[in-house]
C-alpha cells in the first residue's frame, strides 16, 4: 500500500477518473483537471495549509463529514465530490458566516471588482443571508502603516497576512488579537507595520481588509489596464504587474501568476511604491537644446535631428556612457551606433570586471535553486538592503533546512535567526576563506552568493573563492550584482572602464550619455572635471540632473516601467519589460532615440521595435544565442554563462584611515527619494561607526562627521552602532544629492577614509 | 518584571512543555502577578524569555479573558452571558452589577475596586445565571440581591460570600 509521495495515482473527481499526484492537496489536484474548489486561506507559498476559512469543504467517500480540500492529500482511489448538495450547503453556510460581519461595502471598496470574496460569493454563495443580528462595527480604516490600511470589518480572519509576516518575511509583526468575532489583525502595542515587504500582505488579502494607502480611491478595476513587467529597482529582476490608468502608472503589485524561479510573487516595498518617481517634479519631460538663443525646449524630432547633425560631422570622436536602468536593447543599439561612428568607445557606469572572471565562470544558479540548497554562503554584500527579495529566498532556504552563513563586514537583517553571522574585518574578506571552505565542506547542493562590489575590491579573495566553489561538488554561484544594468550590458561585452580616461586624454568630442549621471556617483569630482573638457554632451535622461544642465542637447527618455526591452537579472535571467504607461509626451525609449540618431546620420539601423532589436542582437552575441524575444515570454529565460576571465592581482585601498564599507540600499536610492509614498521607509545617507571607534576618533556623540577620501570630502550624519567592526567606516548611500558616493573612486575600488569632527559652523548652531 | 526573572521562573517547568510555545501562558500568568495586568513591557519581557515575537505574545494574552492587557480593578467580576445564563436573565444581572459598582456595562469602577466583564460560558449552565469573582469557582444561580451581597462582602473585607446552590 505504501507508495512514494508524488507517484501518480487515479482518483475520481465529480464522477470523472483523473490522474493526480499522490500527496498533492485535493484542491490542487482538482485545479489541475479544471475543477475549481473555492479557497480563501489556502496559499502554498505561505507554507503548510491551515484550513482556517473552511471554504474548500468537499465530500470524500469513506471519510466522515466534509473534508477541507486544501489540507487533504490525494490518496489512491479517492472518490471526491465537489458539487454535491451537501457540499453546496456547506459552501452556502461558510459564506453566510464569513459575511456575517462583513459590511458589504463593495461599491466603495478598493478591492471591489478584483476581490476573491466577491467572486466566490457570486459563484458559490447563497445570495442572501438569514442573519439579522447587528454587524460588528469599527472605525475605518485603521492605518497599519502609512502604506497599508486595515479595514477590520471586512477581514475574514484567513491568516494569510499573519502567516506572511510570521513565516515568510519572519518579521513577527502581524498577529491576530482577541478571539471569535472580535478577532482583529494587529501589531504589538499598535506599532506601525513597517518593513521591507509589507505590501505583499495587500496582494495576499483575499478580501478588502488590507488595501494600499497610496492606491486608496485612485481607480476602479474597469478603468485600469494591467501589464506584466520587471522591476528595474535592483538586480534581482522581480516580476511585477503594472496598473495603468489614463496613461499613468497608478499601482504596482506582485504578479498574480508569479515567476516561481525568481521572486515567487513577493516584491519589496521599494519596488511596489517607487513608481511615483516617474511623475516626480524633476522628471525631464521636454527635450532641451542650447543654441544661439540660449537653453530652450524643443520637440523631440528637433532635438534628435540636431544631435544627428552633430554626429554627421566628419572627424568627430564620439563616446557612449550607459547608466541605469539601461536595457540590453539600449546597450546593443549604442554598440550598433558606435560602429557607424568609427567604433566609438562604449562604457557602462558600474563595477569593473577585473578579477571577477573566475567567479563568473562558475556554474550559475537561479533564485529558486536556493530552495533546495543544503548550504548557502553569502560572501560580502547585504542582500536584505541591496537585493531585498533575496532575503525571502534565504529565509525560505533556512526553513527548508539549509545552513545559511553570512560572511562579510556588515551586520545584516539575516544575522542570528536565519544566518550564522561570520563578521570579517573590513577589507579583509580574503582572511575568511578558511571559514567559507569549512561551511562548504561535505555539502552537495551548496549555493554561494557573492557580492560584486566587495569581491571586485579584493581580487585575491575572489580568485580563492572561485577555486573553493569550483572544487566543491554540486556547488553553484549567484552574483549579488551591484546594479540592474550590469549583467545585461556585460553580456554584450560593454566594459565599465575606458571612457573616463579617454575624455581626460582629450580624445572625446561628443559624449552621449544614456541614463547616466556620473557627477553624483563614484569618482564624481573627477567626472565633473572631465566632462567640462567635452565640447558636446548629448544626455538621454529620465530626470533632471547635473549632466542635463551641462548638456548641449538633453533628450527625455522612458524609465523601466514605461518601456519595452530586456533586463538581465543577477542570476543571468533575461526578462522582458512591458510598457505599463505612456511616459511624458516629449520622451521616447532610449533605444528608439539611438535608432533615430542613426536615421538622422543617414545610416539607418533597421530596428523598429525593441523586440526586433533583441532578436537581431541575440544572433550576434553568444550569451543570448538561440533566444528570441518570443522565447522570453512572460517568465524570461537564463542566458548562457560568461566564459570568465583571468584572476587579478591584489588591490591596495586608496587613501588613509579606516576602510570604507559601502552599502547602496535600494530603499535609499534616487528613485526611492523621488517617491513620496516611501517617506516612512526611506534610508538616508549616513556614516556608521562602532561606538568605541567613534570615541577613539573623538566624534562620539556628534550628529555629523566629516568624511575625507582622496576623491572628496563630505559632511555626513553619524550613526553609532555597536554591531559594526571597529576597523571600518560604514558608508550607507542614500540620496545622490548628498554627494556621498563621490567619496569613492570612479571604478568603485577599495578606499579608506579619514573621519574627523566637523568644524562648528558646518553643522549649524 | 524582567526577562531574566521570567526565565528563572520558567527554568524548573520548561521540561514539562514539549512544545515551547506552551510556556507563554505560565510566563504571562507569572508576569501578571506583579502589577495585576500586563503592560507592553511585561509582554516584551515574556517574548524575550520565551523566544517568540512580541506580537505573538500579545496575541496569546489578548485571547484569554483572565490575562489583562489593560489595567483592571482589584477584584474582577465575570458575568456569564452565554446561552443558558442569557435565557435565565444574565443581561439583567450584568446591568444590575454594573449599576451597583458604578460602571456603564463592562469596565472598571471609578474607585479602582472592581472590573466587570462579560464572560463566555463558565461551565455552570445548571446554575444559571452565574458569575465568577477573580479565578474563584463560579457561583449561581444568582438573584440580584445575591449579587449585591457578594459585592458588599467584597467591598467590606475582600472575602467573597459564596452562593452555591
Interatomic CA distance for residues A531 and A161, integer angstroms: 51
Superfamily of domain A357-481, CATH level 4: Dimethylsulfoxide Reductase, domain 2 (3.40.228.10)
Contacts of A177 in chain B (CB under 8 A): 58-59, 62
The pLDDT tens digits along chain B (165 residues) read: 899 999 999 999 999 998 989 999 999 999 999 889 999 999 999 999 999 999 999 999 999 999 999 999 999 999 999 999 999 999 999 999 999 999 989 999 999 999 999 999 999 999 999 999 988 888 989 999 999 999 999 988 766 667 776
Looking at chain A, which residues constitute the CATH 3.10.20.740 domain(s)?
A: 8-98
Residue A220 reports pLDDT greater than 90:
yes
When CB atoms are compared, the residue of A166, A175, A180 closest to B58 is: A175
Answer whether A174 sits within 8 Å of B55, measured CB to CB: yes
Domains of chain B: 3-63 (1.10.10.1590), 75-157 (3.40.30.10)
- The CATH number given to A136-279 is 3.30.70.20
Average pLDDT rounded to a whole number, residues A31-44: 96
pLDDT tens digits along A161-212: 999 999 999 999 999 999 988 899 999 999 999 999 999 999 999 999 999 9
A34: left (phi over 0), alpha (psi -120 to 50) or beta: left
The grid cell for B131 is 458569575
Answer whether B62 sits within 8 Å of A177, measured CB to CB: yes
| Chain B nearest C-alpha distance from A163 (Å) | 12
Looking at chain A, which residues constitute the CATH 3.40.228.10 domain(s)?
A: 357-481
The grid cell for A80 is 471526491
Residues 6+ apart with CB under 8 A from A428: none
Backbone phi, psi, residue A530, to 5°: -65, -40
Domain A8-98: CATH architecture, name and number where available = Roll (3.10)
Average pLDDT rounded to a whole number, residues A360-378: 96
When CB atoms are compared, the residue of A172, A178, A179 closest to B53 is: A172
Place of cell 547608466: A323
Predicted model pTM? 0.93
CB burial of A8-21 (b: ≥16 within 10 Å; e: otherwise) equals: ebebebeeeebebb
pLDDT tens digits along A727-743: 999 999 998 889 999 99
The grid cell for A551 is 548638456
pLDDT tens digits along A749-764: 999 999 999 887 666 5
**What 8-state DSSP symbol labels residue A118?**
H
Place of cell 467590606: B156
| Distances in whole angstroms, Cα of residue B23 to Cα of each of A160, A165, B17, B49 | 25, 22, 7, 10
pLDDT tens digits along B108-137: 999 999 999 999 999 999 999 999 998 888
Chain A residues bordering chain B (beta-carbon distance below 8 Å): 165-166, 172-180, 186-189
Looking at chain A, which residues constitute the CATH 3.40.50.740 domain(s)?
A: 288-351+488-638
Contact by Cβ (8 Å): A405, A373: no
Contacts of A188 in chain B (CB under 8 A): 40, 43-44, 53-55, 57-58
pLDDT at position A318: 97
3-state class (DSSP) for residue A250: strand
For CA atoms A399, A405, A406, A411, give the dihedral sign. positive
Residue A257 reports pLDDT greater than 50:
yes
Q: For residue A167, what is the nearest residue in chain B, using CA coordinates?
A: B53
Q: What is the mean pLDDT of chain B?
A: 92
Looking at chain A, which residues constitute the CATH 3.30.70.20 domain(s)?
A: 136-279
When CB atoms are compared, the residue of B52, B55, B120 closest to A187 is: B55
Residue A765 reports pLDDT greater than 50:
no
- The CATH number given to A658-763 is 2.40.40.20
Strands (E), A275-402: 288-291, 294-297, 318-322, 346-348, 375-379
pLDDT at position A480: 97
Strands (E), A409-473: 420-423, 447-451
pLDDT tens digits along A458-476: 999 999 999 999 999 999 9
Chain B residues bordering chain A (beta-carbon distance below 8 Å): 40, 43-44, 52-59, 62-63, 120
pLDDT tens digits along A543-563: 999 999 999 999 999 999 999
Domain A288-351+488-638: CATH architecture, name and number where available = 3-Layer(aba) Sandwich (3.40)
pLDDT at position A1: 44
Interatomic CA distance for residues A21 and A42, integer angstroms: 18
Contact by Cβ (8 Å): A73, A23: yes
Report percent pLDDT > 70 for chain A: 99
The grid cell for A341 is 561612428
Amino acid at each position: 500500500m505504501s507508495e512514494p509521495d508524488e507517484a501518480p495515482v487515479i482518483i475520481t473527481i465529480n464522477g470523472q477518473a483523473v490522474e493526480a499526484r499522490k500527496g498533492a492537496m485535493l484542491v490542487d489536484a482538482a485545479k489541475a483537471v479544471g475543477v475549481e474548489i473555492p479557497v480563501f486561506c489556502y496559499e502554498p507559498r505561505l507554507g503548510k495549509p491551515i484550513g482556517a476559512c473552511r471554504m474548500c469543504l468537499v465530500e470524500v467517500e469513506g471519510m466522515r463529514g466534509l473534508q477541507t480540500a486544501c489540507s487533504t492529500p490525494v490518496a489512491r482511489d479517492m472518490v471526491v465530490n465537489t458539487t454535491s448538495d451537501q457540499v453546496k450547503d456547506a459552501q452556502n453556510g461558510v459564506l453566510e458566516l464569513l459575511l456575517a460581519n462583513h459590511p458589504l461595502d463593495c461599491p466603495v471598496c478598493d478591492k471591489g471588482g478584483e476581490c476573491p470574496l466577491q467572486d466566490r460569493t457570486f459563484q458559490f454563495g447563497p445570495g442572501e443571508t438569514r442573519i439579522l443580528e447587528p454587524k460588528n462595527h469599527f472605525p475605518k480604516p485603521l492605518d497599519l502603516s502609512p502604506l497599508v490600511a486595515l479595514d477590520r470589518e471586512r477581514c475574514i480572519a484567513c491568516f494569510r497576512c499573519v502567516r506572511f509576516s510570521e513565516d515568510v518575511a519572519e518579521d513577527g509583526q502581524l498577529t491576530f488579537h482577541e478571539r471569535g468575532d472580535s478577532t482583529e489583525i494587529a501589531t504589538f502595542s499598535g506599532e506601525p507595520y513597517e518593513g521591507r515587504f509589507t505590501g505583499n500582505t495587500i496582494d495576499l488579502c483575499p478580501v478588502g481588509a488590507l488595501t494600499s494607502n497610496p492606491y486608496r480611491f485612485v481607480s476602479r478595476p474597469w478603468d485600469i489596464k494591467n501589464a506584466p513587467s520587471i522591476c528595474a529597482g535592483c538586480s534581482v529582476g522581480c516580476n511585477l504587474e503594472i496598473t495603468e490608468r489614463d496613461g499613468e502608472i497608478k499601482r504596482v503589485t506582485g504578479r498574480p501568476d508569479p515567476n516561481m524561479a525568481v521572486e515567487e510573487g513577493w516584491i519589496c516595498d521599494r519596488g511596489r511604491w517607487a513608481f511615483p518617481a516617474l511623475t516626480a517634479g524633476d522628471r525631464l519631460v521636454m527635450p532641451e537644446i542650447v543654441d544661439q538663443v540660449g537653453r530652450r525646449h524643443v520637440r523631440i524630432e528637433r532635438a534628435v535631428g540636431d544631435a544627428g547633425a552633430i554626429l554627421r560631422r566628419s572627424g568627430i570622436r564620439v563616446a557612449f556612457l550607459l547608466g541605469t536602468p539601461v536595457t540590453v536593447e539600449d546597450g546593443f543599439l549604442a554598440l550598433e551606433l558606435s560602429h557607424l561612428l568609427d567604433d566609438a568607445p562604449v562604457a557602462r557606469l558600474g563595477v569593473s570586471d577585473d578579477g571577477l572572471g573566475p567567479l563568473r565562470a562558475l556554474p550559475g544558479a537561479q533564485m529558486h535553486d536556493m530552495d533546495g540548497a543544503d548550504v548557502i554562503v553569502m560572501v560580502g554584500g547585504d542582500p536584505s538592503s541591496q537585493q531585498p527579495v533575496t532575503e525571502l529566498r534565504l529565509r525560505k532556504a533556512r526553513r527548508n533546512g539549509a545552513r545559511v552563513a553570512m560572511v562579510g563586514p556588515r551586520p545584516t537583517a539575516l544575522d542570528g535567526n536565519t544566518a550564522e553571522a561570520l563578521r570579517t574585518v573590513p577589507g579583509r574578506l580574503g582572511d575568511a576563506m578558511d571559514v567559507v571552505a569549512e561551511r562548504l565542506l561535505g555539502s552537495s547542493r551548496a549555493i554561494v552568493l557573492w557580492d560584486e562590489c566587495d569581491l571586485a575590491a579584493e581580487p585575491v579573495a575572489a580568485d580563492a573563492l572561485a577555486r573553493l566553489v569550483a572544487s566543491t561538488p554540486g556547488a553553484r554561484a549567484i552574483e549579488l550584482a551591484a546594479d540592474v544594468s550590469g549583467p545585461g550590458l556585460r553580456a554584450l561585452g560593454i566594459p565599465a572602464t575606458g571612457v573616463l580616461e579617454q575624455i581626460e586624454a582629450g580624445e572625446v568630442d561628443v559624449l552621449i550619455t544614456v541614463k547616466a549621471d556620473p557627477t553624483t556617483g563614484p569618482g564624481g569630482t573627477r567626472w565633473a572635471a572631465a566632462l567640462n573638457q567635452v565640447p558636446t554632451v548629448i544626455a538621454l535622461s529620465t530626470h533632471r540632473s547635473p549632466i542635463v544642465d551641462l548638456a548641449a542637447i538633453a533628450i527625455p527618455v522612458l524609465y523601466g516601467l514605461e518601456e519595452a526591452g530586456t533586463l538581465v537579472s543577477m542570476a543571468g535571467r533575461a526578462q522582458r519589460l512591458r510598457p505599463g504607461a505612456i511616459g511624458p509626451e516629449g520622451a521616447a525609449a532610449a533605444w528608439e532615440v539611438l535608432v533615430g540618431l542613426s536615421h538622422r546620420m543617414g545610416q539607418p539601423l533597421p530596428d523598429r521595435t525593441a523586440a526586433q532589436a533583441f532578436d537581431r542582437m541575440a544572433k550576434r552575441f553568444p550569451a543570448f544565442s538561440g533566444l528570441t524575444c518570443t522565447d522570453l515570454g512572460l517568465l524570461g529565460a537564463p542566458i548562457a554563462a560568461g566564459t570568465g576571465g583571468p584572476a587579478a592581482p591584489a588591490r591596495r585601498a586608496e587613501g588613509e584611515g579606516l576602510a570604507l564599507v559601502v552599502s547602496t540600499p535600494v530603499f535609499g536610492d534616487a528613485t526611492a527619494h523621488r517617491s513620496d509614498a516611501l517617506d516612512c521607509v526611506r534610508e538616508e545617507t549616513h556614516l556608521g561607526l562602532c561606538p568605541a571607534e567613534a570615541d577613539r576618533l573623538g566624534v562620539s556623540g556628534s550628529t555629523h562627521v566629516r568624511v575625507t577620501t582622496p576623491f572628496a570630502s563630505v559632511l555626513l550624519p553619524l550613526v553609532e552602532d555597536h554591531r559594526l567592526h571597529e576597523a571600518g567606516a560604514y558608508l550607507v548611500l542614500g540620496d545622490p544629492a548628498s554627494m556621498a558616493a563621490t567619496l569613492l573612486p570612479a571604478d568603485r575600488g577599495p578606499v579608506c577614509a579619514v573621519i574627523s569632527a566637523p568644524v562648528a559652523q558646518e553643522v549649524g548652531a | 518584571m524582567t526577562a531574566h526573572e521570567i526565565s528563572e521562573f520558567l527554568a524548573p517547568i520548561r521540561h514539562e512543555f514539549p512544545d515551547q510555545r506552551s510556556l507563554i501562558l505560565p510566563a504571562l500568568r507569572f508576569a501578571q502577578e506583579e502589577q495585576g495586568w500586563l503592560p507592553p513591557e511585561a509582554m516584551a519581557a515574556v517574548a524575550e524569555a520565551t523566544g517568540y515575537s512580541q506580537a505573538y505574545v500579545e496575541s496569546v494574552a489578548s485571547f484569554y479573558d483572565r490575562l489583562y492587557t489593560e489595567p483592571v480593578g482589584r477584584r474582577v467580576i465575570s458575568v456569564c452571558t452565554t446561552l443558558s445564563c442569557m435565557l435565565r436573565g444574565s443581561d439583567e444581572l450584568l446591568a444590575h452589577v454594573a449599576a451597583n459598582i458604578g460602571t456603564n456595562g463592562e469596565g472598571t469602577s471609578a474607585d479602582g475596586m472592581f472590573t466587570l466583564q462579560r464572560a463566555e460560558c463558565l461551565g455552570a449552565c445548571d446554575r444559571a445565571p452565574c458569575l465568577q469573582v477573580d479565578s474563584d469557582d463560579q457561583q449561581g444561580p444568582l438573584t440580584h440581591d445575591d449579587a449585591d451581597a457578594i459585592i458588599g462582602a467584597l467591598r467590606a473585607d475582600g472575602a467573597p460570600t459564596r452562593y452555591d446552590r
